């Protein structure tokens, strides 16, 4: 059911943790399954993502997709990080079962939320980036 890459990133997730004083942080959640994902970015003066960490309270696929997403955005500019879509994450993991596609969406949304936070703090515009749709407070309250 799961590819070897998914199993690898689930059992040995990369970039787990927090960044102190992050350049941007984003937390998103899925109200249906209750899974929550938080991404921290460390961005340098050239707008290159030097470091990225995540914390995921969620299913195995959510952990594997967050791990892969951090690997894919590391070293990219904040603009290029937008190309790390849920599709890109899924492809890099050699696919996910259909019921787990929303988990990869959470990874994309977490990156976007962290990028949005970074852009707001630095008054810059990342072309094509939209404000995060999920407000984590709402998700927590809904439950
Ligand atoms: Fe919801 Fe995986 S089951 S994020």
Quick check: is 33 catalytic?
yes
Q: By three-state DSSP, how is residue 37 classified?
A: strand
User: What is the CA(56)–ligand 1 centre distance, in A?
Assistant: 10
CA 51 to chain centre: 13
pLDDT at position 143 is 45
Rounded CA separation 14/72 (Å): 11
Token code pair at residue 124: 């810059």
pLDDT at position 62 is 97
This prediction's pTM: 0.92
In sequence order, the β-bridge partners of residue 26 are 39
Which is catalytic among the residues 103, 111, 114, 119?
A: 103
Instruction: Give the ligand 1 atom nearest the CA of 103.
Output: 4
pLDDT at position 76 is 98
Residue of 87, 67, 73, 69 whose CA lies nearest to 118? 73
pLDDT at position 65 is 98
Ligand 1: which of 62, 63, 65, 97 to mutate, judged by most atoms within 8 Å of the beta carbon? 62
The pocket around ligand 1, CB under 6 angstroms, is made up of: 30, 33, 35, 58-59, 61-62, 100, 102-103, 106
How would you write the pLDDT of the chain (143 residues) with one tens digit per residue? 899 999 999 999 999 999 999 999 999 999 899 999 999 999 999 999 999 999 999 999 999 999 999 999 999 999 999 999 999 999 999 999 999 999 999 999 999 999 999 999 999 999 999 988 755 655 555 54
């Amino acid at each position: 059911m799961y590819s070897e890459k998914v199993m690898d990133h689930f059992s040995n997730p990369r970039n787990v943790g927090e960044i102190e004083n992050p350049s941007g942080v984003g937390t998103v959640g899925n109200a249906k399954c209750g899974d929550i994902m938080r991404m921290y970015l460390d961005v340098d003066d050239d707008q290159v993502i030097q470091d990225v960490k995540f914390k995921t309270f969620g299913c195995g696929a959510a952990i594997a997709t967050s791990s892969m997403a951090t690997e894919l955005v590391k070293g990219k500019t904040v603009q290029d990080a937008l190309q790390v879509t849920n599709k890109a994450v899924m492809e890099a993991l050699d696919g996910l079962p259909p019921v787990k596609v929303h988990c990869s969406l959470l990874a994309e949304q977490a990156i976007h939320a962290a990028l949005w936070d970074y852009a707001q703090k630095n008054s810059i515009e990342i072309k094509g980036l939209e404000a995060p749709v999920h407000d984590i407070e709402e998700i927590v309250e809904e439950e």
